């Protein structure tokens, strides 16, 4: 039993194979149908079976219900609108600063000089004594102050050690003493910088040399002293460059580049202490200056700024006096008018690391027969007339740095007249410790006045000067 069951599957497989073979042989024995006759229409092809009807589309699914509406967020809080900051109002114009009044200004100055020269034979440098030439030994007391915003005053006094003024010292010896005088006595009015009036005894506005004076020029000697014991050749002024008069002047423009001066002087004719004779006439003086580079405000001036500023200034001036000259053509001792023309220039340049270079030039033109001095020849007094033209030029150099406690300033000044020809040559070396306030000056000077300058044609000297002021 077990054996029959185990052989059954092979018997079934054999029977199946035999059945399939018998079926294939029966299909092969069936006859093939004949082809249709020619021209016979082919039987219509059986219609293809109709496609099964498409099932109707399923009904659209209902849209899911919308999610529940979320509650709208509360509106943001309204921003607080800050009103715009108003534009600041333009600042009010500041009130003009009050003019600081100085009730009293006090200053002083001293110049002391020695000269190596024989006073009897000025050509020789054989004696050492005080230098009485010009303003070499002098002291000044300077006072001034403001009274209101518009009015002020100046009073300057000077003392000159004059070797020609002597006093008894007992036992027959003679002693030199000082000659005291009022240098300036000025009432000053200032409306604005461009319009000011000064009156009294004051500096005559003429040339740069007079505006500078001995205390504010580089050379030691004031220019123009060609003749010994005679006044300097230059504009009409007076002792120490002052005279009694009135000046209208001003600084014009935002940088005070333009200045003008005009006035009348010698108005004390016939006074008890006046040098003006009762029949004499006052004279007029005017000056215009313009700074092409830098500026020089103020009444007074300077011949150097010691490198504090670069400056170039040109100026012209003129003076007139009715009947101020001798008319040599007149047989009755007649007089004629006096005219003086002036032009000057100052330029100073501070070259960094090299030093300061300065040039100053001055030119004068005088009318003929203008007397300014005289000399004695036996019993006769010989008048000396101003040359028709004169000029001077100064060239100086200032070291850039201190050497010790000061700077060295070598300079050369050439002074010359024309018709007649007189010459002064100065070679100087200054030691500048505090600009004009403290300086030492050593000068060699040679003068040649030709055959028309009196008995002492040639003069040679060596001068040493000390200047202090505050």
For residue range 217-240, list pLDDT tens digits in order: 999 999 999 987 788 899 999 889
| DSSP for 280-302, written as a single string | ---EEEEEEEEEEES---SSS--
* DSSP letter assigned to residue 89: P
The arithmetic mean of pLDDT across residues 12-28, rounded, is 52
Average pLDDT over residues 53-82: 60
- For 168-196, letters b (16+ CB in 10 Å) and e give eeeeeeeebeeeeeebbbbebebeeeeeb
The DSSP 8-state label assigned to residue 436 in this structure reads: B
Rounded to whole angstroms, the Cα distance separating 436 from 469 reads: 7
Mean pLDDT of the chain: 82
Q: Please, which pLDDT band fits residue 11 given cuts at 50, 70 and 90?
A: very low
Residue with the bigger pLDDT between 58 and 446: it is: 446
Residue 379 has pLDDT above 90, yes or no: no
* pTM of the entire predicted model: 0.74
More confident residue, 363 or 10: 363
Reported as a single tens digit per residue, the pLDDT across 117-166 is: 998 899 999 999 988 877 889 999 999 999 999 999 999 999 988 644 44
Band of pLDDT at residue 349, cut at 50, 70 and 90: very high
pLDDT score of 327 = 81
Which residue bears the tokens 């509360």? 74
Lowest mean pLDDT among 80-94, 203-217, 227-241, 370-384: 80-94
Average pLDDT over residues 248-271: 92
Q: Which of 67-71, 220-224, 419-423 has the lowest mean pLDDT?
A: 67-71
Q: Confidence class of residue 43 from pLDDT cuts 50, 70 and 90? A: low
Q: Average pLDDT in the 164-190 region?
A: 69
Query: Does the structure show a pLDDT above 50 at 66?
Result: yes
CA atoms within 13 Å, Cβ hemisphere of 163: 14
β 138-146/335-351 pair status: unpaired
Residue located via tokens 């002792």: 239
- Burial class from Cβ neighbours inside 10 Å (0-12, 13-18, 19+) for residue 145 reads middle
Report the pLDDT value the prediction gives residue 306, as an integer from 0 to 100: 96
Q: What confidence tier does 383 reach under pLDDT thresholds 50, 70, 90?
A: confident
1 pLDDT above the threshold of 50: no
Quick: pLDDT tens for 428-465.
999 999 999 999 999 999 999 987 666 778 999 999 99
Share of residues in the chain with pLDDT > 90 (%)? 56
Residue 86 pLDDT exceeds 90: no
Q: Tell me, letter by letter, the H, E, C secondary structure of 315-330.
A: EEEEEEEEEEEECCCC
Name every residue whose Cβ is closer than 8 Å to that of residue 114 and which is 6 or more positions away in sequence.
128, 129, 130, 131, 463, 464, 465
Question: Quick one: pLDDT band at residue 10, thresholds 50, 70, 90?
Answer: low
Cβ pair 156, 140 in contact under 8 A = yes
Give the pLDDT mean for 369-385: 72
Assess whether pLDDT exceeds 60 at residue 24: no
Which has more confidence, 154 or 26?
154
Give 87: exposed, middle or buried? Use CB within 10 Å, 0-12, 13-18, 19+: exposed
Structure tokens at 217: 């020029």
- pLDDT tens per residue, range 281-322: 999 999 999 999 999 999 999 999 999 999 999 999 999 999
- Identify whether the C-beta of residue 179 lies closer than 8 Å to the C-beta of residue 163: no
């Amino acid at each position: 039993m077990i054996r029959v069951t185990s052989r059954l599957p092979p018997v079934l497989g054999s029977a199946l194979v035999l059945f399939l073979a018998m079926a294939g042989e029966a299909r092969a024995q069936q006859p093939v149908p004949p082809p249709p006759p020619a021209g016979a229409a082919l039987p219509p092809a059986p219609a293809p079976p109709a496609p099964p009807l498409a099932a109707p589309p399923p009904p659209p699914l209902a849209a899911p219900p919308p999610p529940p509406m979320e509650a709208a967020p509360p509106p943001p809080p309204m921003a607080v609108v800050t009103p715009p900051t108003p534009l600041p109002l333009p600042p009010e114009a500041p009130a003009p600063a009050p003019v600081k009044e100085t009730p009293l200004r006090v200053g002083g100055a001293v110049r002391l000089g020695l000269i190596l020269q024989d006073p009897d034979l000025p050509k020789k440098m054989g004696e050492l004594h005080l230098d009485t030439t010009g303003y070499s030994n002098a002291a000044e007391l300077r006072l001034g102050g403001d009274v209101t915003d518009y009015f002020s005053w100046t009073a300057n006094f000077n003392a000159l050690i004059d070797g020609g003024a002597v006093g008894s010292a007992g036992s027959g010896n003679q002693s030199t003493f000082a000659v005291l005088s009022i240098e300036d006595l000025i009432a000053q009015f200032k409306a604005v910088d461009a319009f000011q009036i000064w009156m009294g005894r004051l500096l005559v506005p003429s040339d740069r040399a007079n505006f500078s004076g001995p205390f504010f020029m580089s050379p030691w000697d004031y220019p123009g002293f060609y003749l010994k014991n005679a006044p300097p050749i230059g504009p009409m002024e007076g002792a120490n460059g002052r005279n009694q008069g009135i000046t209208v002047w001003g600084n014009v423009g935002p940088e005070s580049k333009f200045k003008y001066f005009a006035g009348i002087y010698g108005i004390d004719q016939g006074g008890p202490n006046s040098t003006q004779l009762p029949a004499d006439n006052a004279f007029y003086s005017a000056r215009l200056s313009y700074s092409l580079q830098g500026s020089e405000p103020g009444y007074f001036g300077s011949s150097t700024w010691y490198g504090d500023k670069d400056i170039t200034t040109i100026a012209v001036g003129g003076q007139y006096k009715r009947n101020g000259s001798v008319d040599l053509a007149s047989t009755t001792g007649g007089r004629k008018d006096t005219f003086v023309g002036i032009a000057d220039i100052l330029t100073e340049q501070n070259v960094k690391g090299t030093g300061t270079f300065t040039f100053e030039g001055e030119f004068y033109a005088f009318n003929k027969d203008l007397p300014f001095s005289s000399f004695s020849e036996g019993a006769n007094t010989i008048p000396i007339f101003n040359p028709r033209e004169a000029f001077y030029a100064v060239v100086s150099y200032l070291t850039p740095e201190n050497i010790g406690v000061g700077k060295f300033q070598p300079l050369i000044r050439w002074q010359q007249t024309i018709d007649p020809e007189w010459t002064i040559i100065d070679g100087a070396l200054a030691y500048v410790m505090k600009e004009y306030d403290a300086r030492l000056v050593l000068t060699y000077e040679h003068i040649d006045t030709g055959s028309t300058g009196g008995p002492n044609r040639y003069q040679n000297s060596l001068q040493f000067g000390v200047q202090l002021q505050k």
